[in-house]
Amino acid sequence: MATKKILIVPGDGIGQEVTSEGKKVLDKIASKYGHTFNYDEALIGHAAIEKTGNPLPDETLTKMRASDAVLFGAVGHPKYDNDPTAKVRPEQGLLKMRKELGLYANLRPIKLFDELLEASSIKPEILRGADILFFRELTGDIYFGEKGRKNNGDTAYDNAEYSRFEVERIARKAFDSARTRRKKVCSVDKANVLETSRLWREVVQKVAAGYPDVEVEHQFVDAAAMMLIKDPRRFDVVVTANLFGDILTDEASQIAGSMGMLASASIGDGTGVYEPIHGSAHDITGKGVANPLASILSAALLLDISFGMKKESDAVINAVDKVLKEGYRTKDIADARTASDNVLNTSAMGETVLKFI
Ligand code: NAD
């Protein structure tokens, strides 16, 4: 029995809708297993800009640091997507959070629930059994380097930078994790063109030497993007830089059937942050159709990684599996075979998961 402080940071759009389902699941786990989870809530993104003018208010950061884990939703608003000149933007809150909390590793498990084989746009025989764990570096690369305009604004630049220690710490996490899985690491870079990638490869090779029991391969990002669709089962652990990881994990979301199914954990030296990989999805906000399973599976990752509660985490994953086996779907993962009564709205899907825990 444990007592933990969890900060709920729903953010914007469907972030609000799905995070409340993730919280319900945590509540259920606490009562079933005799834990005490104390919650607080904080603002980020557009919601925070509206109230405070700041996408990541100091109060939110302080609360994050004082928590044992953060369950996060998403940030974003169409107002900014269509206005590249906006100086204050919701995503700044996200990037600052990652930097301030030292969240240098983003873990994205890509695992297909058998029941969703048909929901993917990839052929079932290629997908069956695919199980990949991405380690995306989160605090370096082109996202955080110097950026700006020159030549009267007609030329723009974004600098990519990596330091040895940044590559080394995420590579170690990836190799440690591979030891608990199928003992394979694929490091993805663009070492034929980019200097940051050449440093990346050099460091990963050095780290790999300390893990002789783990098979390592290096792939260029363009080849890896192709291989993910052609033969996803060949991958076990994939480790890559921030920008490549951002793109490849969205591509890999198709292996899991929908963006609404994929959870992630951002970890580093302090409080871990758990969030769906999807954004604030304003096209479906307020319609009650958002799939909450990514947030619920993020709660499962939180239990496992930040609290070491493996059996509680498995209980959540098994409940999601059962819900899918029973034929329940949200709209994004429903197909022609789904009975119309089994297409659930966001909160009904959350309640159904609770029943199976
Ligand atoms: P998105 O992930 O919000 O949506 C992409 C598509 O997937 C949309 O059609 C959406 O309806 C669908 N989708 C996403 N999540 C779903 C769910 N749970 N259930 C059902 N369908 C789902 O990406 P986008 O449309 O490119 O971006 C929208 C906003 O989100 C932008 O402002 C963007 O900056 C922001 N964003 C935030 C994050 C984050 O907070 N981590 C990540 C990506 C995008």
Give me the domains of the chain, ranges plus CATH numbers.
1-116+257-357 (3.40.718.10), 121-255 (3.40.718.10)
Residue 278's Cβ-side half-sphere holds a number of Cα atoms within 13 Å equal to 32
Pocket test for ligand 1, best of 280, 282, 291, 349 (most atoms within 8 A of CB): 280
Pocket test for ligand 1, best of 83, 278, 287, 345 (most atoms within 8 A of CB): 278
Q: Which two tokens stand for residue 240?
A: 């890559």
136-166: buried (b, 16+ CB within 10 Å) or exposed (e) per residue? bbbbbbbbbeeeeeeeeeeeeeeebebeeeb
Tell me, in angstroms, the distance from the centre of ligand 1 to residue 259's CA: 8
Other Cβ atoms within 10 Å of 84 Cβ, number? 7
Question: What is the per-residue pLDDT across 21-57, written as a single tens digit (0 to 9) for each?
Answer: 999 999 999 999 999 999 999 999 999 999 999 999 9
Tell me, in angstroms, the distance from the centre of ligand 1 to residue 287's CA: 14
Other Cβ atoms within 10 Å of 88 Cβ, number? 12
Residue nearest to atom 17 of ligand 1 (CA): 260
For ligand 1, is residue 250 a contact (CB within 6 Å)? no
Residue nearest to atom 32 of ligand 1 (CA): 76
250 counts as catalytic: yes
Residue nearest to atom 7 of ligand 1 (CA): 259
Q: What is the total residue count of the chain?
A: 357
pLDDT in tens, the chain (357 residues): 899 999 999 999 999 999 999 999 999 999 999 999 999 999 999 999 999 999 999 999 999 999 999 999 999 999 888 888 888 999 999 989 988 999 999 999 988 888 888 777 888 889 888 999 999 999 899 998 999 999 999 999 999 999 999 999 999 999 999 998 999 999 999 999 999 999 999 999 999 999 999 999 999 999 999 999 999 999 999 999 999 999 998 888 888 777 889 999 999 988 999 999 899 999 999 999 999 999 999 999 999 999 999 999 999 999 999 999 999 999 998 887 888 889 999 999 999 999 999
304 counts as catalytic: no
Model pLDDT, residue 256? 78
Tell me, in angstroms, the distance from the centre of ligand 1 to residue 279's CA: 3
Model pLDDT, residue 259? 81
189-226: buried (b, 16+ CB within 10 Å) or exposed (e) per residue? bbbeebebbebbbebbeebbeebeebebebbbbeebbe
For ligand 1, is residue 119 a contact (CB within 6 Å)? no
Q: How far apart are CA 91 and CA 95, in angstroms?
A: 6
Q: How far apart are CA 245 and CA 107, in angstroms?
A: 10
157 counts as catalytic: no
Residue nearest to atom 42 of ligand 1 (CA): 279
Say if residues 114 and 129 touch (Cβ distance below 8 Å): no
DSSP 329: B
Q: Could you identify the residue written with the tokens 């080849």?
A: 223
Residue of 81, 131, 250, 321 with catalytic role = 250
Tell me, in angstroms, the distance from the centre of ligand 1 to residue 307's CA: 28
Q: In a 10 Å sphere around its CB, with 0-12 CB exposed, 13-18 middle and 19+ buried, how is residue 242 labelled?
A: buried
Tell me, in angstroms, the distance from the centre of ligand 1 to residue 1's CA: 36
Model pLDDT, residue 349? 98
189 counts as catalytic: no
Q: Is 72 helix (H, G, I), strand (E, B) or coil?
A: strand
Model pLDDT, residue 284? 96
Q: Is 285 helix (H, G, I), strand (E, B) or coil?
A: coil
Model pLDDT, residue 84? 80
236 counts as catalytic: no
Q: Indicate which atom in ligand 1 lies nearest the CA of residue 73.
A: 40
Q: Indicate which atom in ligand 1 lies nearest the CA of residue 281.
A: 3
